[in-house]
Chain A
């Protein structure tokens, strides 16, 4: 028996080298948002200071994520383990290009929403905790993008879910309670399915580290059979529910139009994309054989999602509900990339995710501006907005083109990649569905354009005449006059135009993100190679 005085070789179980200073950036997004959220919570009653602190921390988050992305591009995949326990024992945060890129775009969107919220969230909403919830939502979103441990991913999902509940019922309207019940119940069932899959995965492999799982799955003789097929099916259903894919998309159109428009904007940008990210991460990195096995199912689900989204949008006369269906149609495009599964398709899906995060948030903000100008979200009651502000009409037109996938805006390039990948893989129906969905989206957006912007006034105005645009209420005029509405909308529209005109940068990043998943050597080496 060894005496207790014998020195132990700790390096077998623990990381002994100190963490490089720059690697602390890996946990910075979570720390910044938790700190900022707590601070805003303490300032709950100080409704003037709270937005400044909240927006300040969100700006800090953008900077931290930018630095993190630059570091990942310079140094490759970065891993940091909690408590210095070597993986697979310690909980690992592993950041690759995909995670860092989505985390950055997500934080840009959250920053814009924080600024927009300064105009649209009144003092009651601030006291009820808009900024704490927004910051804590970002803790969950960034954590989910950056973690390298599948149980940890579940925890981040729950963090963002509980914050989203808080945001969804902010204001306590009857309609919000109705939407929140459906959102809450279905999302909770979804995370429980995710947890079942994770429990079974642990039962099979005895590990929860994503890199370790990827290695152990790849080492199996038949990596798509038996219990793993069950796990894959459970994961697919769970994340499809999160992503609002057909046929488990009902919670999204029921709830996304109920809260304050800036809350809808954040949700439309971020929440469903975290589900898509989890699908891509799990099915391309950990269970690639199951993805191949399920690819026909994913393909059918993608076609269904593309068509229900676009057709649903055509049937709506309320702008926010129409946009909710367009979120679903966008999810279908990303699923199409997952169904094909080649590097081109996955990078198309990643690029589309980035595009969709930006454009959907911007469109919901634009819907909010339409309501401030025209006094309604209903297409029947809107009209004459082009006379009121030609610049805003141009912004809306750019966003409408982008979401329909028309050049020269950001939606065009990922759609080209996805259609190309689908046709070259022989999935003619899938490629056609993407194109048809884009066409129907153009019709739905064209309808908003014609009714809200192009015609002279609300329903009842004779053709060719211009009804005087009803002056907005004092509240909405005050909201519009400040920069807090226009700055975020401007930033997001500028990004949409920039990614449309200069797509090389995004193409390179998303290709790098996709190839890092398809051939995860760098990922595995980062987790196991450094000290092991």
Chain B
């Protein structure tokens, strides 16, 4: 089970890296979204995929009597999902605004902050 998931995570990372190497901002953002999901699955798998038993403690015991799923990675992943989702939303809006203002979504053409025809500093006066 874990081996299968690990291979899937590897595929996710491959796709994410491939997309992020693109010159189109939209593809890069898709790559980032997939990267976030790959990381979430990686954390989840690192908590060991044991059983589908919920981590509930029977009423008269102090610890669960059978091996249960690990609840901590779920909490971590939940945090990471919220964060990566909000960042992705922000970056989407930012990319759209940049496309509106700069008229391009190719990262090589975005040279407004660092112009190509930059002058060298004055040598003397």
- B-binding residues in A (CB < 8 A): 1-4, 8, 151, 155, 158, 161-162, 165, 169, 172, 174-175, 177-182, 184-185, 188-189, 192, 195-196, 198-200, 202-203, 253-255, 257-258, 314-317, 379-380, 447, 450-451, 455, 459, 461, 463
Contact = CB atoms under 8 A, between A and B. Distances in A.
B59 interface: yes
B60 A158 contact: no
Range for the number of chain B residues in contact with chain A: 35 or more
A180 B90 CA distance: 11
Contacts of B72: 202
Contact of B121 (A2, A178, A185, A379): A379
Given A203-B46, A258-B113, A315-B121, A181 B76 contact: no
A198 B83 CA distance: 15
Contact of B125 (A185, A314, A463): A463
Q: What DSSP secondary structure best describes chain A's contact surface?
A: helix
Given A175-B112, A181-B25, A185-B32, 10 more contacts: A3-B60, A158-B87, A162-B90, A174-B101, A178-B113, A181-B95, A188-B32, A189-B20, A203-B47, A447-B121
B61 to A, nearest CB: 7
B114 A254 contact: yes
Identify which of A195, A255, A451 gathers the most chain B CB atoms within 10 Å of its CB: A195
A380 B122 contact: yes
A189 B32 contact: yes
B115 to A, nearest CB: 10
B32 to A, nearest CB: 6
Interface in B34-65: 35-36, 39, 42-43, 45-48, 59-62
16 contacts: A1-B61, A151-B76, A162-B87, A174-B101, A175-B112, A181-B25, A181-B107, A182-B107, A189-B32, A192-B39, A195-B39, A195-B43, A203-B47, A254-B114, A316-B121, A317-B120
B79 to A, nearest CB: 7
Interface string B101-119: 1100001001111100001
Nearest to B44: A199
B69 to A, nearest CB: 14
Contacts of A3: 60
Contact of B87 (A188, A200, A254): A188
Q: Give 9 nearest A-B pairs by CB, closest first.
A: A203-B46, A199-B43, A317-B121, A178-B112, A177-B98, A179-B113, A174-B101, A178-B113, A158-B83
Given A177-B102, A179-B113, A202-B76, A455 B125 contact: yes
Contacts of A182: 107, 110, 113
Contacts of A257: 113
A278 to B, nearest CB: 17
A463 B98 CA distance: 44
B61 A200 contact: no
Contacts of A379: 121-122
A179 B97 CA distance: 12
Contact of B80 (A185, A195, A253): A195
B86 interface: yes
Interface string B81-104: 001101100110011011001100
B91 A188 contact: yes
Identify which of A158, A257, A315 gathers the most chain B CB atoms within 10 Å of its CB: A158
Contacts of B43: 195, 198-199, 202
Nearest to A161: B87
Nearest to A168: B94
A158 B35 CA distance: 16
Given A174-B112, A181-B98, A189-B20, A317 B39 contact: no
Interface string B15-37: 00000100001001100100110
A451 B114 contact: no
Contacts of B119: 317, 380
A1 B98 contact: no
Contacts of A314: 121
Nearest to A321: B114
